[in-house]
Amino acid sequence: MTMRSALLIGATVLSSMQLGQSALARDCANPNHGYLGRIPTGQIPEVFLEMPGRYVQDADISPNMMEIFFTESNATWDDFTLYSIRRRKNGAWTEPVKPSFLGDLTGALRPYSSTDGMRLFFISESPRDPWVAFRKWFGWFPALRLPAPIDSDAIENSIHESADGTLYFCSHRTTEVSKGGCDIYYAKLQNGCYKEAVNLGQLNAESNDCGPVVSPNGRFLVFHSNRTGGYGTADLYASFKQNDGDWSRPVNLGPDVNTDALEVIAHFSPDGKYLLFTRRAGFQTEEPSKVYWVRADILNALKP
């Protein structure tokens, strides 16, 4: 079975062919029902992307809605391959390919598109370092490793650009204010350079806090954590931008999103309408992970 055929199996994949004739007709009759070739999800998470027998995660939709990047991992969560698929003019999706910008990198994960779609941030598999790739007229330039203050001698696990150009990322670096494990940081862009990385202490706990992503409107920050008090091995949490510009103390997204499994690696759709995340049964598991999506307005009800 080719990767393309695997990607197109089942009712949850990104093809209107898989929705059935009645759903397809309804989409054609009402354009509001169409979103990337399928009926939009509601306030209860549904599968967005799955591949039978394969572990998919990290689904990121490009700002023009014409490309999706995702990662394939393995049962022991120590091998990662980055792929992309593009949407044709007729709505069909191309066969998954490894992006050309990877060059000699053996593996990659955590893709996040820049707000203008001209760059893609990601993490190399080994060592876990932050990289960025720039688009050219057709294709990509080779990826570049990001310097300090984003990179460090420690492990970096994700990197996301907010609408104002600030980079939010997570790192195992040790500082005077680090809480231990993996912490969330940000670095503001000023005069073309990133300023000193700042530890978001009010979000971090003595745990692994990772995968920060800010909504397109700048109101919400979602991340995952294995801190105590959650529903499973790792849960998704949300923080809210306050009037003074600071982020609020995080709130668990609740049992409709979080389960006794791992809910990790959030992404917002470019229009901010949907929240995508990975659900994985366990750190090491024989059950393939899947990407889910849910309406992002569920976050409004969590705001303190």
Span 222-280, pLDDT tens digits: 999 999 999 999 999 999 999 999 999 999 999 999 999 999 999 999 999 999 999 99
| Alpha helices (H) along the chain | 3-7, 21-29
Q: For the chain, give me the number of helices (H) and strands (E)? A: 2, 21
The helix/strand/coil state of 300 is helix
Judging by DSSP bridges, how do beta strands 130-134 and 144-145 pair with one another? antiparallel
Element (H, E) at 185: strand 183-187
Q: How far apart are CA 18 and CA 131, in angstroms?
A: 35
> Could you identify the residue written with the tokens 């997570």?
170
Span 160-178, pLDDT tens digits: 999 999 999 999 999 888 8
| Residue 181 covered by a domain | yes
| Residue 42 covered by a domain | no
| Residue 4 covered by a domain | no
Q: How far apart are CA 86 and CA 92, in angstroms?
A: 8
**The pLDDT of residue 15 is above 70:** no
pTM (predicted TM-score): 0.89
- Say what the pLDDT of residue 28 is: 37
- Say what the pLDDT of residue 34 is: 67
| Residue 45 covered by a domain | no
Residues 6+ apart with CB under 8 A from 54: 6, 72, 288
| Residue 251 covered by a domain | yes
pLDDT, greater one: 16 or 138: 138
| Residue 208 covered by a domain | yes
Cis peptide, bond prior to residue 127, ω within 30 of zero: yes
Q: How far apart are CA 300 and CA 297, in angstroms?
A: 5
Domain count, the chain: 1
C-alpha dist (Å) from residue 303 to 122, 168, 238, 264, 294: 30, 21, 9, 20, 17
CATH number of residue 251's parent domain: 2.120.10.30
Cβ 74 vs Cβ 284: under 8 Å: no
As to burial, measured by CB atoms within 10 angstroms (0-12 exposed, 13-18 middle, 19+ buried), residue 238 is: buried
pLDDT, greater one: 191 or 292: 292
- Say what the pLDDT of residue 47 is: 95
- Tokens encoding 140: 């990509």
Q: Report the chain's mean pLDDT, rounded to a whole number.
A: 88
| Residue 118 covered by a domain | yes
Q: Which domain holds residue 59?
A: 55-302
| Residue 10 covered by a domain | no
Q: How far apart are CA 263 and CA 253, in angstroms?
A: 10
Cβ 203 vs Cβ 184: under 8 Å: yes
**The pLDDT of residue 18 is above 90:** no
Give the mean model confidence (pLDDT) for residues 111-132. 97
- Say what the pLDDT of residue 92 is: 83
- Say what the pLDDT of residue 90 is: 80
pLDDT, greater one: 153 or 88: 153
Cβ 255 vs Cβ 45: under 8 Å: no
Percent of the chain whose predicted confidence (pLDDT) is above 90: 78
> Nearest to residue 257, comparing CAs of 295, 219, 304?
295
**The pLDDT of residue 3 is above 90:** no
